[in-house]
Structure 1
Amino acid sequence: MEVICIETEAFYALIENVVERLEGKSAAKEEKWLSTDEAMTLLNIKSKTTLQKLRDEGKIRFSQPQKKLIVYDRDSLHAYLEKNARETF
């Protein structure tokens, strides 16, 4: 077994650096709008047709900033999943 010794100040600086990096990664992953593929992954569906059906029925919120670009609201997708969750016995 190998032991590494560092000064207290260096240790705390290292910890702060690690925390900053982790916060940066989680903030990048939590974007409000998701692509079609990301939405399908989050909902665990394989078909774009199913995603379109959810849009057409007004069950999930989306935005269409360009003709062929549709993005989905992350909060809306989570709300849809929660609404359809079943309690266990």
Structure 2
Amino acid sequence: MEVICLQDEAFYALIDKVVERIQQQHSVKEDKWISGTEAMQKLRIQSKTTLQKLRDEGSIRFSQPEKKIILYDSDSINDYLNRNSKSTF
């Protein structure tokens, strides 16, 4: 059995590099354009009518590449959620 000794700084630098590498390998980029179902999940709503209301009011951005296909901008959903968040006391 081989024992390897490291100084604290070197050990923590090694751990940081390992964690960074794992995150790079497993990073999943979120799609910019998501379906209505995914948008509803992200907004934690269950009603398509509420989603349409947000779309009609201009609260969230959407794209309609075909008549029956509506995609939602995930960044605008995040912005909407941030705009409507309340600060703690």
* Same amino acid, percent of matched pairs: 57
**What TM-score, normalized to structure 1?**
0.72
Aligned with 2:31: secondary structure? coil
In the aligned structure 1, how far is the partner of 2:48 from the partner of 2:88?
Answer: 30
1:45-56 to 2 correspondences below 5 Å: 45-56=45-56
Unaligned runs of 5+ in 1: 1-14
CA distance in 1, matches of 2:59, 2:76: 8
Q: Deviations over 1:32-59 (max 9, x none)?
A: 0010000000000000000000010010
The 5 A counterparts of 1:72-83 are 72-83=72-83
Deviation at 1:78, TM superposition (A): 0.2
Instruction: Note the 1:20-31 alignment, pairs <5 A.
Output: 21-23=25-27, 26-27=28-29, 30-31=30-31
CA–CA distance in structure 1, aligned partners of residues 79 and 26 of structure 2: 26
CA distance in 1, matches of 2:85, 2:76: 14
Q: How does 1:30-69 map to 2 (within 5 A)?
A: 30-69=30-69
CA distance, structure 2, for counterparts of residue 68 and residue 21 of structure 1: 36
Aligned amino acid, residue 31 of structure 2:
E
- Deviating beyond 6 angstroms after TM superposition, the runs of 4 or more aligned structure 1 residues are none
Cα distance in structure 2, aligned partners of 1:58 and 1:31: 21
- The CA RMSD measured in Å over matched residues stands at 1.7
TM (normalized to structure 2)? 0.72
